[in-house]
Structure 1
Amino acid sequence: MALPEHDVADLGLAQAGVRRVEWAARAMPALRQVHDRFAAERPLDGVRIAACMHVTAETANLLRALRAGGAEIALAASNPLSTQDDTAAALVAEYGITVHARAGMDAESYDRNLLAVLQHRPHMLLDDGCDLVNIASLERPELLAETFGGCEQTTTGVIRLRQMRAEGVLTLPMVAVNDTATKRMFDNRYGTGQSTIDGIMRATNAMLAGRTVVVAGFGYCGRGLAERARGMGARVIVTEVDPVKALDAVMQGYTVLPMDEAAPIGDVVVTVTGNRDVIRAEHIASLKDGAVLANSGHFDVEIDLHALEALAVEVRHEVRPQADEYVLADGRRIVLLAEGRLVNLGAAEGHPAAVMDLSFSVQALTTVWLARHRDTLTPGVLEVPADIDTEVARLELAALGVGIDHLTPDQEEYLHSWHV
């Protein structure tokens, strides 16, 4: 059988990739049920999908479900440090999916791969950080001539889409998969919290108990990270620009400080904001010797890398895997993890499969919803239908063997009536 179009590192890694994908599938029972339903119903027959996503075993299981439903898929990597070359090989050789992804590719290759999957003239986009929508809108809008919609799975991507909509340049209906209750709770809070700590510990082998961890940003991701760090015995300081989130952190018992005051006392400083230049030159100049800098926001702009390089008199690359040491003029050493990119994917393996089970089940069902309603949707940023989120939660509870109560008819009536 002819292989699909591909640009991967080594097809000889395919069997190792299959083992990795199948291992992840064991922890994804909700998505497995979705896969089986799609295989029986074929709701995506003839639908071409272009995806920009992290090329991991968990993503592979989402794409297997969509493929079982009849979709034709072309995948590009959304982050050069997160690509698992064995998973990429398995997707091509074993699962029949077009893949353009190699670990460690440069920015030019990244853009080339995005354009390569768009050349398939997709009906639908699965985006991560709005990169597919962005590059197509700016460079090749004609490639979206047959596109009827898509999904965006990150906070940063949703922000960018809303900005595009406000400026009148978003031409597609895009569903904010990131904004569902299950996604925020599991993926952002529990997933980012655990996987960020995992990445920091793999890259540094550092003990967190008794150390000071600065968490920049107290959204869902920052909240999860702060909880996990505190659970490891760290003293946690939160920095914020939003007074409501800052107050929330205070009421949860965290110390809240401006970054100017937090940076000099942090042993580990992690950005989780989705914004740029959170750690700037003045903060870097105040860091203690041996301080660790990491980012778990979407893009590598939260730490001012140009300022870090300018302040350093020497850079020692790979003092440990995914850890670079910057030596300042006075001899202080600052350790940057994963090149300032996502530390949970660059230095670890991203969210546990059990977390992605819910997020990708929502994404799979939303993809079918988009296909079925393609003729009635208008350009903009749309919400995931509430019944999809609820259905995925029920699937997960059933897989875990957990039962819950149900409203009685009288309770239903009471909740929907203004009568006492």
Structure 2
Amino acid sequence: MKFGVWILGLFSPLVLAAEHQVSGVIDVRASYTDGIQSYVDGGLGKFRFNPDGQLSLAQAGFSYKIDWDNPLSAHVVANAYWDGVRDSIGITEAYLKYKGLPWDNGLRLGGKFGIIYPEISMENIATAWSSPYTLTYSGINSWLGEEVRHIGAQVSLDHLGKFRGSRHDFNLTVEFFQNNDTTGAMLAWHGWTNSSRQTLWQETLPLSSLPSLDGGSLGSQAKESDPFLELDDRIGYHVKTQWRMQGLGRLEVGYYDNDADTRVVKKGQYAWLTQFIHIGTKWRLPYDLELIAQYMKGDTLMQSPDGRNIVDNGYDSAYILLSHRWKKHRLSARIEDFSVVDNDLTFDDDNSEQGQAMTVSYSYQLRKGWFLQAEYNRIDSIRAARAEQGHPADLVEQQWQLASRYYF
């Protein structure tokens, strides 16, 4: 909260001369989950909600933008949840944005500074980082929402094809950041999930009760992970390039490296060296179909202060989403495949998993900004660590949701 206030305070003398924009989303859901205790509640369940049925405020998102009569604007995004699992309210993004005018040669410079997401998601494009396609995010975007965020400075360079009569645009984005040294901990210890919750900037996340974390080889790890912590004062980076064909779609490739010093540990919080590549594409197809596909592959390493590998995981996830919108209706379907490979020799900490997920979602627009949406989710996964808590290693979890979402 203090960071967002500081950003807005930088330009307080100009506030009266600025254009103010307020938008938001209210998402009320009835849900029924057939599974085990949610990862949000310290379990190893793959969904956000605990088993059985409930009515919840799944998201109350609020976005405030100040736009000056120049290339600068300031943005603050807050989210609130009242879901019976982890009720909370706080900031999720707060940043300054620069978007310059194109030069005569078609080049345009842009940038951001503040609490930001790396620009990876192709699903979460609506207000307050919500998704217009499904109620529940893919595994890739669920992980981004949980622990892949930071304080960073981003610079982007666009080459706009229209200045030379072409439909092809190109973009290069480079980002440097801190406050992300524990990124990878939650992916290691509960694996991939399908969620619709973004971690608030001030939150810590509970770890599941596992032998390695409960007096075992990792007993010095804090009971909760702080996902946006700076431990080693090193700077990570993210590089992405994109090709766009106006009116049809885009293809992008990026690489992320938090450059963490894995020998650093403070108050039970370890620095994790987390790196990954990501590839994504989004296209308009015939018959009013929209195709989105993303793939992520990387590794994460946590060591002891003397340099011994404690957790060394490889991971990957991919999904394909098809969405068809006609009149007041939208039908979306997504399939996913994911895995975590445990490469270390820590005997009481098996992080390996593999699985597939499926989502089918239908929404109907009642009036401007107001949507009713029904969704079914299914995850079939194998995770050996579940057996330590008395659950099957091979488990099918299902979820049914009915939501009323209002965008303003």
TM-score above 0.5, yes or no: no
**Superposition TM-score tier, normalisation by shorter sequence:** under 0.3
Q: As a proportion of its length, which structure holds more strand?
A: 2
Task: Name the TM-score, length of structure 1 as normaliser.
Answer: 0.27
TM-score under structure 2 length normalisation: 0.27
